[in-house]
Amino acid sequence: MPRRTSMGRRKSRNPAAAAALLASLAFAAAPGPAAAGDCSPTPSNPQGPFYLPDAPFVTALDREGEPGERIELAGRVYNEPDCEPVSGAVLDIWQANAEGHYYNLEAAAAAADYLFRGRVRTDGEGRFRVRTVRPGPYRTGPSSWRPSHIHVKVSGPTLVPLTTQVYLPGDPHLERDPLAVPLLVGILSQRPDGPATLFFDFVLRTGSEKP
Ligand SMILES: [Fe+2]
């Protein structure tokens, strides 16, 4: 899905990739990046200061009663250059809350509380999905802001690890943040019967080198 959800820039280089594309379309129910693309690797973005290792595997990053608009982050992980979905890839995800604050910045607290942090694993078709709330933008200076974004580390046994950030479309601060390149802006799909879904497909190079 590179621009980024599953169908935008990906070109179907072979029948398997075409099948993956169709599956992705069915899964996403939204025009995705996979359909459009060239399967080039997802750009990296800085890790930033708020990452904590060893987050638990979860189905939701938020908790009951946590304020904010519920959304889901979903998509697929593909390898490059084969452009095949990768099962068993791990996405290590962290984000600010709805007001733009990161929780649990001290290691002692993190051991007991990983609110808005968690890992998910792709299924046999390379898909992932996790519930959360829409993260708020946050100020980084007198007149500078980080637009709404979700941090993600993606890894897998045959993949070169990736650290990046996925941005939510429509944030007024997007255009003033040089990190928020268009290829890292997901596709937000509203649903009448549930939370909006932020779709994003990750493409990682095949290999074993360190990030
Ligand atoms: Fe951040």
Catalytic residue flag (residue 146): yes
Catalytic residue flag (residue 127): no
CB atoms under 10 Å from CB of 65, counted, come to 5
Mean pLDDT of the chain: 83
Return the higher-pLDDT residue of 37 and 21.
Answer: 37
Cα–Cα dist 128/186, whole Å: 14
Cα–Cα dist 70/1, whole Å: 22
Q: Report whether pLDDT(38) > 90.
A: no
Catalytic residue flag (residue 102): yes
- Check 117, 119, 146, 173 and give the catalytic one: 146
pLDDT tens for 163-209 read 999 999 999 999 999 999 999 999 999 888 889 999 999 999 998 76
Cα–Cα dist 199/168, whole Å: 10
* CATH code for residues 7-205: 2.60.130.10
- Check 3, 4, 117, 149 and give the catalytic one: 149
What is the Å distance from ligand 1's center to 14 Cα?
Answer: 37
Torsion of CA 183, 136, 121, 129, to 10 degrees: -80
Amino acid, res. 188: L
Catalytic residue flag (residue 101): no
Bridge pairing between strands 194-199 and 70-80: parallel
Q: Where are the domains of the chain?
A: 7-205
